[in-house]
Amino acid sequence: MISDLSQLEVREIQLERVTLQFHNPISTFHGPLTTRDVIILTASDASGNLGFGEAAPLAGFTPETLQEVENALSEWARDSDPGHLTGRPTAQAAVDAALLDLASQIAGRPLHDLINPGSPSVLPVSALINGQTPEEAAESAGAAVDAGYKTVKLKVGLLSFSEDIARVAAVRTAVGDTKFRVDANGAWRPTEAIDHLTRLNRYHLEFIEEPVRGLEALAAVRANSPVPVASDESVRTIDDLHRAIKLGSADIVVLKPSALGGPQLTAAAAQVAIDAGLPVVLTSLLESSVGIRSTAHLASALGALDPAPGLATATLLATDSGTPFLPIDGQLHLG
């Protein structure tokens, strides 16, 4: 993508642990998330240019602990041997994002434009709506539409299906013909997923993320689902992606640069998906605005804008790192 990152003359690397807090608990693959710790990596050159990256390991999603990531980054900072980052995708992501950001600062151009000249500086993003009851979900969804979002997303699978379908129905009524996707985070059993999706089909969903866990189960569900199926947690590496394509596990592929190993690996993965005819949705890993900003630049550079990227998640944070990167009128503006 950018071939000369190794030529950057990095003078100093700084690592800082930051605790992020969410306004409300976020439901994930492995339970609710209220706070999390991340590491912000700052790379500087002799002229005072700064590049920022973020390592945001997420238990149950990425393979490393925060301590392992911090150790790997400290060792890399000492001798810049990329071997220290092997098997540490969130550390790799921090390094790659920071060096790309530094290259963009040195070039005096926004990163998206450095990677792909002329790529857009404004991109639409989807809003994650909350609410345990149909009324709460409808209120949250209506507020998102009023705020300018053209795509909304609701988590399902934590409540009974009858509660979920009531929430989906209420959101559909609240948002009119706004694009509406749901995410089950792998919560449903393969035996029930088809029936659930058949019943959800009347609400004209854009897609469902991870109705079930695992690439084989996703392939079996997708083969009979009236709702397009997106992979997310089941694709954690490029090898997983190749297997997903071979098995027919997904109509759409969600990719998280902060989990996969950074912008450049994600660009390669996105190309694999696009070559297989699968649209790519870039999303955050519920990290701070440092990581979100990097992924937004990549989404623009790759033209991965429809379906809308899942990058409105700084709105969920009560404490962030750096300047909060918040959508305006449902869109992120890349400086």
Give whichever of 64 and 232 is closer to Mg ion, judged by the CB atom: 232
Nearer to Mg ion, 97 or 259 (CB): 259
**Residue from 232, 240, 287, 320 binding Mg ion (CB under 5 A):** 232
Q: Is 96 in the site for Mg ion (CB under 5 A)?
A: no
Q: How far is the CB of 59 from Mg ion (least distance, A)?
A: 16
> In the range 238-277, which residues lie near Mg ion by CB under 5 A?
none
> Residue 134: which of 224, 203, 39, 62 has the closest Cα?
203
Is 150 one of the annotated active-site residues of the chain? no
Q: Which stretch binds Mg ion (CB under 5 A): 1-9, 227-235, 268-276, 294-302?
A: 227-235
Among 54, 96, 206, 209, binds Mg ion (CB under 5 A): 209
Q: Which stretch binds Mg ion (CB under 5 A): 16-24, 44-52, 207-215, 262-270?
A: 207-215
Give least dist CB 185 to Mg ion, A: 6
String of contacts with Mg ion for each residue 276-315, x by CB under 5 A: ----------------------------------------
Least distance to Mg ion from the beta carbon of 52, Å? Answer: 25
* Cβ at position 270, least distance to Mg ion in Å: 16
Among 150, 153, 179, 256, the one annotated catalytic: 256
153 strand-pairing partners? 128, 181
Q: Quote the least distance from Cβ 284 to Mg ion, whole Å.
A: 10
Q: Which is nearer to Mg ion, 99 or 128 (CB)?
A: 128
Q: Which residue is nearest to Mg ion (CB)?
A: 232
155 is catalytic: yes
| Tally of CB atoms within 10 A around 176 | 9
SS (H, E, C) the chain: CCCCHHHCCEEEEEEEEEEEEEEEEEEECCEEEEEEEEEEEEEEECCCCEEEEEECCCCCCCCCCHHHHHHHHHHHHHHCCHHHHCCCHHHHHHHHHHHHHHHHHHHCCCHHHHHCCCCCCEEECCEEECCCCHHHHHHHHHHHHHCCCCEEEEECCCCCHHHHHHHHHHHHHHHCCCEEEEECCCCCCHHHHHHHHHHHHHHCCCCEECCCCCHHHHHHHHHHCCCCEEECCCCCCHHHHHHHHHHCCCCEEEECHHHHCCHHHHHHHHHHHHHCCCCEEEECCCCCHHHHHHHHHHHHHHCCCCCCCECCHHHHEEECCCCCCCCECCEEECC
Question: Which of 96, 101, 113, 183 is close enough to bind Mg ion by CB under 5 A?
Answer: 183
Q: Which of 150, 155, 179, 246 is catalytic?
A: 155
Size of the site for Mg ion (CB under 5 A): 3
**Where does this chain bind Mg ion (CB under 5 A)?**
183, 209, 232
Enzyme catalytic residues: 155, 256
